[in-house]
């Protein structure tokens, strides 16, 4: 429920009205504009009589939020959310580019890739230490050793690190060491995991589940936000459709749809969407044109021998060239890269 207050109401009056509303057992999220204040009510609003609230002399209008996601809803927060990840902003004018290998293989590999992507203008280093593989017989990641490699490379390059958390047991370690915690497509509906990361303040990169609707995707963001962590960045990474030429079908329409429905930043991962390295460039270009707030791209120095996802990884020189081209498209969109 949204309560729009009349213009020019004193702070004390807003505070006492907020206290009154809290007695209904809901949480109040005030959105304070220059002239107007809006109160977002989160929780079970079914016991609140809209007519009684509307009759209050402070109230201009009461609206029910139709969508099940509240805190992630743009109605609750009309301005775009900009998430600060160790000084790098996501959701503002500058596009966030996260690049790196699918998985951390060894220190030299990650360092070489990190140095080159940094030179090309990437703002974040990605690399999986704990890998969610379809087969239990595939490389599962280096685990804690991989996390340490990422930390070392961060020390060398200064690039903030983004890596996937699969289990609640590792959360404390991730809170200490990781700049942005990735929740992968396979865990988008792991609500216990979402609630736990929601209790931290670490920025969360939430990837869309492979068979999830946009509403389900935003409800997963709501799980994180409802626990107090509003630093959520969404990532469209392709969904399952009847088409099997590509690994997934990149749902680019999710970008403008989410921009309309939510204030949260949304980025695009063309690598996992297509599953083929030569599609990364056209899909990245299209994503920037569609209004993405950033890209997550798999880059590997030796894709033919990569332990994971080599077929969809581009080499550092191709990434460099891609960044050059994307900067021109970004300019048309009045963004920067």
In this structure, what token pair is assigned to residue 330? 């970004």
Alpha carbons 58 and 238: distance in angstroms, whole number: 46
Per CB under 6 A, does 185 bind ligand PEP? yes
| Per-residue binder mask for ligand PEP (CB under 6 A), 214-253, x = binder | -----------------------x----------------
- The phi and psi torsions of 300 (rounded to 5 degrees) equal -140, 140
> In the stretch 294-323, what mask flags binding to Mn ion with x, by CB under 5 A?
---------------x--------------
Rounded distance between C-alpha atoms, residue 57 and residue 311, angstroms? 63
**Residue at shortest CB range from Mn ion:** 102
Does 123 engage in binding with ligand PEP (CB under 6 A)? no
Please return the burial class of 243, using the count of CB atoms within 10 Å of its CB with bins 0-12, 13-18 and 19+: exposed
Q: Which one, 164 or 177, has the nearer CB to ligand PEP?
A: 164
User: What is d(CA 307, CA 323) in angstroms, rounded to the nearest whole number?
Assistant: 25
Spell out the residues 6+ positions from residue 235 whose beta carbon is closer than 8 angstroms to its own: 205, 206, 207, 208, 266, 267, 268, 269, 296
Q: How many residues bind ligand PEP (CB under 6 A)?
A: 10
DSSP 49: -
160 touches 86 (CB < 8 A): yes
Q: Which is nearer to ligand PEP, 128 or 294 (CB)?
A: 128
Structure tokens, 23: 């007695």
The verdict on 269 binding Mn ion (CB under 5 A) reads no
Interactions with ligand PEP, residue window 43-102 (CB under 6 A): 102
Is 39 a binder of Mn ion (CB under 5 A)? no
CB of 128 or CB of 303, closer to ligand PEP: 128
- The H-or-E segment that residue 37 falls in is strand 37-42
Cβ at position 279, least distance to ligand PEP in Å: 15
Please report how close the Cβ of residue 103 comes to Mn ion at its closest, in angstroms.
7
Separation of alpha carbons 123 and 87, rounded Å: 10
Q: Give the one residue of 40, 128, 198, 303 binding ligand PEP; rule: CB under 6 A.
A: 128
- Residue 235: which H helix or E strand, with range? strand 232-236
Closest CB to ligand PEP: residue number: 184
Considering the complex, state which of residue 115 and residue 186 has its C-beta at the smaller distance from Mn ion: 186
Residues of this chain that interact with Mn ion (CB under 5 A) are 102, 309
Residues that bind ligand PEP (CB under 6 A): 102, 128, 132, 164, 184-186, 207, 237, 272
């Amino acid at each position: 429920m949204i309560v729009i207050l009349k213009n020019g109401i004193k702070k004390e009056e807003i505070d006492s009205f907020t206290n009154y509303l809290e007695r209904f057992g809901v949480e109040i999220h005030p959105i304070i504009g220059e002239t107007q204040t809006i109160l977002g009510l989160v929780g079970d609003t079914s016991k609140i009589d809209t007519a009684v609230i509307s009759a209050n002399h402070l109230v201009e209008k009461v609206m029910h939020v139709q969508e099940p996601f509240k805190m992630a809803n743009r109605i609750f927060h009309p301005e775009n959310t900009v998430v600060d990840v160790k000084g790098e902003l996501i959701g503002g004018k500058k596009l966030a580019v996260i690049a790196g290998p699918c998985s951390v293989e060894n220190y030299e590999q990650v360092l070489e890739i990190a140095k080159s992507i940094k030179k090309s203008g990437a703002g974040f280093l990605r690399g999986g230490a704990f890998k969610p593989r379809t087969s239990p017989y595939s490389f599962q990641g280096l685990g804690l050793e991989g996390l340490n490699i990422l930390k070392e490379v961060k020390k060398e390059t200064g690039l903030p690190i983004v890596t996937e958390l699969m289990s609640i047991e590792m959360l404390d370690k991730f809170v200490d060491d990781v700049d942005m915690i990735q929740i992968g497509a396979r865990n988008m509906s792991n609500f216990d995991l979402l609630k736990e990361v929601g209790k931290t303040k670490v920025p969360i990169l939430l990837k869309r589940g492979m068979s999830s609707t946009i509403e389900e995707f935003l409800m997963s963001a709501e799980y994180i936000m409802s626990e107090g962590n509003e630093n959520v960045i969404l990532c469209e990474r392709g969904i399952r459709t009847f088409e099997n030429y590509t690994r997934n079908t990149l749902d680019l329409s999710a970008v403008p749809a989410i921009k309309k429905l939510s204030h949260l930043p949304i980025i695009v991962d063309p690598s996992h969407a297509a599953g083929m390295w030569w599609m990364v460039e056209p899909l990245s270009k299209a994503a920037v044109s569609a209004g993405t707030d950033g890209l997550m791209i798999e880059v590997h120095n030796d894709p033919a021998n990569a332990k994971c996802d080599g077929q969809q990884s581009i080499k550092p020189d191709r990434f460099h060239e891609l960044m050059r081209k994307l900067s021109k498209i970004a300019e048309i969109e009045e963004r920067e890269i």
